[in-house]
Amino acid sequence: MSKITFREALNQAMCEEMQRDENVFLMGEEVAEYNGAYKVSQGMLDKFGPKRVIDTPITELGFAGLGVGAAMAGLRPIIEFMTWNFAMLAMDQIVNAAAKMLYMSGGMYPVPIVFRGAGGAAARVAAQHSQCLENWMANVPGLKLAMPSNPADAKGLLKAAIRDNDPVIFIENEICYGDIADVPDGEYVIPLGKADVKRPGKDVTLISYSRMANYALEAAAELAKQGIDAEVIDLRTIKPLDEATVLASIAKTNHAVMIEEGWRFAGIGAEVSARIMEKGFDDLDAPVARVSGKEVPMPYAANLERMALPSVAEIVEAARVVCNRA
C-alpha cells in the first residue's frame, strides 16, 4: 500500500499492464515527450520507448480509428484523449466502429481497446472544456464505461479495462487527478461491473460515481450530524451497471438520491432511477430524487460556475426531502 495521487495510480496501472503484455501501448496527444498534458503518463516514454508511448498530431478521429484498427489486428491500445471534450471529434470511430465491430463482423473482430482521458467539469475553462458526456457513451451497446472516484479504484479499474476484450470508455475526473490516497501495490484489479458501498447506512441511499461520489460522502457526513444515516454507493462502472448492489441498498433504506455532475436530461441518473422504479418500486417510500448539473453550458464566471455544478448542500437537501425531513 502506498499513498499516491490519482494520476500516479493511473500511471502505475498502465505501466504494470505494459510490462505484463507487450501488445499494450499508449497513444495520444502529448503523452510521450511532454509526459502527458495532465502528467498521467509521466516517465512512461523513458520506461517503454517511443514505440509503445506515442505522441500523435492533434487528430482525434484519426488516432481513435488507428486504435480501432490496431485492436482488430490484435494489439491492445490505450488511446488517451487529452479531455473527453475532444473525443467528440472521434465519435464515429468510437460509436460506429469500436462499439459495433464485433457484432457487425459476426464475432470475428473483437476490439480490445481503452479510450481514456479527463472528463467532467474542470475549473474556470468554460463551456467547451467542462462537461460530462458519459451518458452518450453509456447509451451505445458494445461499449463498457468506467468512471473511478479515487486513486485505488482508478488503478484497479484501469487494469481491468486494459485486460478486457471489449472497448472500454474510461473517464477520469480532471479535478481528482491530484487526490492522494492509499493504493495497493502491484496486482490489484477491480472487475468491471461491481459497485462499491463506500459508506454503509440505513436511512437513505446516495448513488453516484466519479467525483460526485466524493461529494456524496461529504453529504453523508453532514447528514449524519443531522441524524440521517446515509449509505453511499459508488457505481464505479456505469456499464455494466451493478443494479443488484443498488437494489439491495434500497431494499434496506427505502430512499434514494442519484447524484451526477452532468446534465439531467437523459443522464445516467435517468437510467438508474428508471431501473429502481422498474425493479425496486415496492421498496421505495418516496420517489427517487436526482441531483445533477444545471442544464446550461458551463459559464466562466466563478459564481456562475459554482451554481451550475451540483453541491454538497444540494445533495443534503435532496436527501432530507426524500426522507421527509426537509
Partner 1 sequence: MSAKQKKQAEGLTHEGRFYQADTLHTMHDSMLFIRRFEEKAGQLYGLKKIGGFCHLCNGQEAVPVGVHHASKPEDYMLTGYRDHGHILARGSDPTAVMAELLGRAGGIVKGKGGSMHMFDAARNFAGGNGIVGEQVPIGLGFGFSSWYRQDGRVTLCFFGDGAINQGAVYESFNMAALWKLPVVFVVENNQYAMGTSLGRASAETHLFKRGISFKIPGMQIDGMDVLEVERKMTEAIEHARSGEGPILVEAVTYRYRGHSMSDPATYRTREEVEEWRTGRDPIARLQVRMIEAGLASEESFKQKDKDIKKEVAAIAAAAEAMPEPDAAELYTDIYRDSIEGAYPYPGRVA
Q: Which positions from 60 to 99 touch partner 1 by CB under 8 A, shown as an x/- string?
A: -xxxxxxxxxxxxxxx-x--------------xx--xx--
Least distance (Å) from partner 1 to the CB of residue 49?
12
Could you tell me how many residues of this chain bind partner 1 (CB under 8 A)?
53
- C-beta closer to partner 1: residue 75 or 270: 75
Instruction: Pick one of 46, 278, 285, 295: the residue that binds partner 1 (CB under 8 A).
Output: 278
Stretch (H or E) spanning 103: helix 101-104
Q: Does 28 bind partner 1 (CB under 8 A)?
A: no
Surface-to-core class of residue 28, CB atoms within 10 Å of its CB (0-12 exposed, 13-18 middle, 19+ buried): buried
Q: Which stretch binds partner 1 (CB under 8 A): 7-15, 37-45, 56-64, 131-139?
A: 56-64
> For this structure, is 129 an active site residue?
yes
Shortest CB 304 distance to partner 1, Å: 34
Q: Which is nearer to partner 1, 74 or 297 (CB)?
A: 74
- The three cell numbers of residue 47 are 520506461
- Note whether 300 binds partner 1 by CB under 8 A: no
Region of 301 on the Ramachandran plot (φ > 0 left; ψ -120 to 50 alpha; else beta): beta
Among 252, 279, 294, 320, binds partner 1 (CB under 8 A): 279
What are the CA-CA distances from residue 190 to residues 47, 146, 157, 161, 206 (Å)? Answer: 25, 11, 5, 9, 21
Catalytic residue chosen out of the listed positions 8, 29, 60, 305:
60
The answer to whether residue 144 forms part of the interface with partner 1 (CB under 8 A) is yes
- Give the span between the Cα atoms of 321 and 237, in whole angstroms: 27
Residue number, 74 or 178, with CB nearest to partner 1: 74
> Can you say whether the dihedral through the CA atoms of 271, 272, 276, 277 is positive or negative?
negative
Contact 91, 143 (CB under 8 A): no
8, 29, 80, 129: the catalytic one is 129
Q: Does 164 bind partner 1 (CB under 8 A)?
A: yes
Q: Smallest distance, Å, CB 219 to partner 1? A: 28
Backbone angles phi, psi at 279, to 5 degrees: -115, -10
How many Cα atoms occupy the beta-carbon half-sphere of 171 within 13 Å? 30
Task: Give the nearer residue to partner 1 in terms of CB position, either 63 or 263.
Answer: 63
Q: Which cell goes with 86?
A: 475532444
Annotated catalytic residue 255: no
Nearer to partner 1, 47 or 194 (CB): 194
| Distance, CA of 172 to CA of 151 (rounded, Å) | 10
Separation CA 25–CA 143 (nearest Å) = 20
Other beta carbons within 10 Å of 131: 20
Q: Give the shortest CB-135-to-partner 1 separation in angstroms.
A: 17
C-alpha to C-alpha distance for 128 and 78, rounded to whole angstroms: 24
113: number of Cβ within 10 Å: 31
Nearest to 236 by CA among 157, 138, 118: 157
Is residue 102 within the footprint of partner 1 (CB under 8 A)? yes
The least distance separating partner 1 from the CB of residue 120, rounded to whole angstroms, comes to: 24
CB of 117 to partner 1, least distance (A): 18
Position 21 contacts partner 1 (CB under 8 A): no
Give catalytic residues, as residue numbers.
Answer: 60, 129
Binding site for partner 1 (CB under 8 A): 25, 51, 56-57, 59, 61-75, 77, 92-93, 96-97, 101-110, 112, 141-142, 144, 164-166, 191-193, 240-244, 275, 278-279
